Chains A and B, each alone.
Chain A
């Protein structure tokens, strides 16, 4: 099936100023991601996974080259425009689930919708639906500190998914989870990927996560070492 590319990375280089000199974190990367991919960036620590995900998530911009996300060149966006892009189209899941501790599970998920013009009823419906996707509808009124690590990460998935973004970026989402929880959240994400057609982009060291990926991009020292399609994991759609 010939699907459009939602993310196009062209000759992207990222350098960080370090002391007097510079450190090159990404070296001339060329990649394309199609709608509905379930792909992971894999590589040793410091290989540039987070740096690349941040650029795709419009939290950072390339030093050289172009990163085009959903038709927009990241380098050309103003603060507001990149915020809008994240707000409408990109969901983030972090290594630590990072819920706001003063708000309930429901409010944490709802927060993602507050920036858009949904009515209170619409928000409620969407939040409860997202919590059902991750199997936590019964915990809507709990505070984050009452949740286990796995539950917290599921809330974070609900928060990333509630606005039905086109792209979800998950930076080492299983780093703090045990095996059972890792499998549980990956199954959930895989299912959402299939049902909603959301593009998922991971970074991971985790073998268990790799077991679900349809495509694995190996990074080393800021360069693409190998771009591997895992046919076995691709479900015919």
Chain B
């Protein structure tokens, strides 16, 4: 019988073409959007991790509460020892110190008079360590517009746009003004070794990148650091694992009555990324739901039209001795067959587009100039194994559901009425 149905579907284009097209389009969109979301959210979370949050981040409780103000007076003291203990407690992670600091960048002219000033958003990280992957993690090398990476103490990278505005050249000296950990004024000269543009507006405004030892020195932060970031050595964010690790660390180190005791926050608990993570997991579900719903309605109606056209066939089949239930079931069987064909076609199309997006991406930097959110400026899709079958859920569900609804007409009609359609 299935063979018979399949023959019918393949030979009767009007019965198969429209539903297969509808299913294919819906499935392709589901696959594409899921891939796109997967890619966009994945990129976004990855960027946040690399630039901001780490997979986990250790701060003092007080720092964590005020971290937007970059309160280095609340930094972790004795950070070398803490880092060592983290390395031995959680060897699956790579642990790095970072200091974020604010202040002013002053550009002097040849007489030492101020030529121009701008706000500085400083990041200090381990640039010189032999095994440090920090530069790589922040994509510094590929974000360089001019010049080179700092190679020794006293060298710094500044934002390219800032350097253009104030006409700063490679090798020029700029002065950083700021406050130390103990709230006294400090200034420090840096030789500009290069200019940088990350492509994320929030990163590029007033960028000043220096080695952590320079920052510790000028900010009076010897053996101290604002933030201690952990990155999985496998470079994948595992939500459950990091939460477990944080719980374990906090149980041991975090004390309610000491706001300078350290606390470990997983990525999920920083920068509102938790809802984002949940959202990204939920998105596919939402797409599937929307498409199942919309496609079901379309397929229901095409099924109704097709069904009307086929009342003649149903009449013949009733006369030949099929029961209504058998006809109904065979309709659903057809729906499954069409759903499978449509899902295969749609998945193929969707994956092809997703793959294109994965390789080429969509540049959204034009829309991002004033955004403060840390977002990648090229959105990319990501082809994951799940995509190979995610489309089958809406494809099959919608087709079967649509036909279930339209097929009810067979039951509603009197046998003799269906049969009457045979009379011309």
- Given A60-B415, A114-B1, the answer on whether A95 and B319 have CB atoms closer than 8 Å is no
- Given A94-B422, A95-B423, A98-B422, the answer on whether A57 and B319 have CB atoms closer than 8 Å is yes
Asked whether any CB of chain A lies closer than 8 Å to the CB of B8, the reply is: yes
In whole angstroms, how far apart are the Cα atoms of A54 and B416 in the complex?
Answer: 7
Residues on the B chain within 8 Å of A88, using CB: 321
Interface residues on B, range: 20 to 34
Q: Are B324 and A79 in contact (CB under 8 A)?
A: yes
Asked whether any CB of chain B lies closer than 8 Å to the CB of A216, the reply is: no
Pick from B1, B423, B424: contact of A50, CB below 8 A: B423
Q: Are A59 and B422 in contact (CB under 8 A)?
A: no
Q: Are B313 and A86 in contact (CB under 8 A)?
A: no
Q: In the complex, which residue of chain A has the Cβ closest to the Cβ of B414?
A: A60
In whole angstroms, how far apart are the Cα atoms of A102 and B11 in the complex?
Answer: 6
Q: Are B322 and A115 in contact (CB under 8 A)?
A: yes
Residues on the A chain within 8 Å of B324, using CB: 79, 83
Residues on the A chain within 8 Å of B317, using CB: 111
Asked whether any CB of chain A lies closer than 8 Å to the CB of B316, the reply is: yes
Query: 1/0 contact trace for A86-100 toward B, CB 8 Å?
Result: 111010101110101
Q: How far is the CB of B410 from chain A (nearest CB, A)?
A: 11
Using a Cβ–Cβ cut-off of 8 Å, how many residues does chain A contribute to the interface with B? 31
Query: 1/0 contact trace for A64-86 toward B, CB 8 Å?
Result: 00000000000000011011111
Q: How far is the CB of B355 from chain A (nearest CB, A)?
A: 37
Q: How far is the CB of A130 from chain B (nearest CB, A)?
A: 13
Asked whether any CB of chain A lies closer than 8 Å to the CB of B325, the reply is: yes
Pick from B8, B312, B320, B422: contact of A112, CB below 8 A: B320
In whole angstroms, how far apart are the Cα atoms of A124 and B322 in the complex?
Answer: 20
Interface residues of B in 206-226 (CB under 8 A from A): none
Asked whether any CB of chain A lies closer than 8 Å to the CB of B323, the reply is: yes
Asked whether any CB of chain B lies closer than 8 Å to the CB of A37, the reply is: no
Asked whether any CB of chain B lies closer than 8 Å to the CB of A107, the reply is: yes
Interface residues of B in 147-181 (CB under 8 A from A): none
Residues on the A chain within 8 Å of B11, using CB: 102-103
Asked whether any CB of chain A lies closer than 8 Å to the CB of B240, the reply is: no
Q: Are A114 and B419 in contact (CB under 8 A)?
A: no
Asked whether any CB of chain A lies closer than 8 Å to the CB of B257, the reply is: no
Residues on the B chain within 8 Å of A54, using CB: 416, 419
Q: Are A83 and B316 in contact (CB under 8 A)?
A: no
In whole angstroms, how far apart are the Cα atoms of A92 and B422 in the complex?
Answer: 12
Q: Are B326 and A83 in contact (CB under 8 A)?
A: yes
Q: Are A98 and B8 in contact (CB under 8 A)?
A: no
Main secondary structure of the interface of B (DSSP, over half): helix
Asked whether any CB of chain A lies closer than 8 Å to the CB of B4, the reply is: yes
Residues on the A chain within 8 Å of B1, using CB: 114
Interface residues of A in 193-226 (CB under 8 A from B): none
Q: Are B7 and A103 in contact (CB under 8 A)?
A: yes
Q: A83-B323, A87-B322, A115-B326 are in contact. List 17 more A-B contacts (CB 8 A).
A: A54-B416, A57-B319, A59-B419, A79-B325, A80-B325, A83-B324, A96-B424, A98-B312, A98-B315, A102-B8, A102-B11, A107-B7, A112-B321, A114-B1, A114-B4, A115-B321, A115-B322
Q: How far is the CB of A55 from chain B (nearest CB, A)?
A: 9
Q: Are A79 and B419 in contact (CB under 8 A)?
A: no
Q: What are 22 of the A-B contact pairs (CB < 8 Å)?
A: A54-B416, A57-B319, A59-B318, A59-B415, A60-B415, A79-B323, A79-B324, A79-B415, A83-B326, A85-B321, A87-B320, A87-B321, A92-B320, A96-B423, A98-B316, A100-B316, A101-B12, A103-B8, A111-B4, A112-B321, A114-B1, A115-B322
Q: Are A95 and B424 in contact (CB under 8 A)?
A: yes
Q: How far is the CB of B15 from chain A (nearest CB, A)?
A: 8
Residues on the A chain within 8 Å of B312, using CB: 98
Q: Are A59 and B8 in contact (CB under 8 A)?
A: no
Q: In the complex, which residue of chain B has the Cβ closest to the Cβ of A156?
A: B316
Q: Are A111 and B422 in contact (CB under 8 A)?
A: no
Q: How far is the CB of A100 from chain B (nearest CB, A)?
A: 6
Q: Are B323 and A80 in contact (CB under 8 A)?
A: yes
Q: Are B419 and A96 in contact (CB under 8 A)?
A: no
Q: Are A92 and B416 in contact (CB under 8 A)?
A: no
Q: How far is the CB of B314 from chain A (nearest CB, A)?
A: 11
In whole angstroms, how far apart are the Cα atoms of A100 and B330 in the complex?
Answer: 15
In whole angstroms, how far apart are the Cα atoms of A94 and B421 in the complex?
Answer: 11
Interface residues of A in 37-66 (CB under 8 A from B): 50, 54, 57, 59-60
Q: In the complex, which residue of chain B has the Cβ closest to the Cβ of A176?
A: B424
Residues on the A chain within 8 Å of B319, using CB: 57, 59, 86, 92, 94
Q: How far is the CB of B188 from chain A (nearest CB, A)?
A: 84
Residues on the A chain within 8 Å of B323, using CB: 79-80, 83-84
In whole angstroms, how far apart are the Cα atoms of A13 and B352 in the complex?
Answer: 65
Residues on the A chain within 8 Å of B12, using CB: 101-102
Residues on the B chain within 8 Å of A92, using CB: 319-320
In whole angstroms, how far apart are the Cα atoms of A114 and B71 in the complex?
Answer: 81
Q: Are A115 and B8 in contact (CB under 8 A)?
A: no
Ranked nearest first, the 3 interchain pairs of A and B with the lowest CB-CB distance are A87-B321, A83-B323, A60-B416
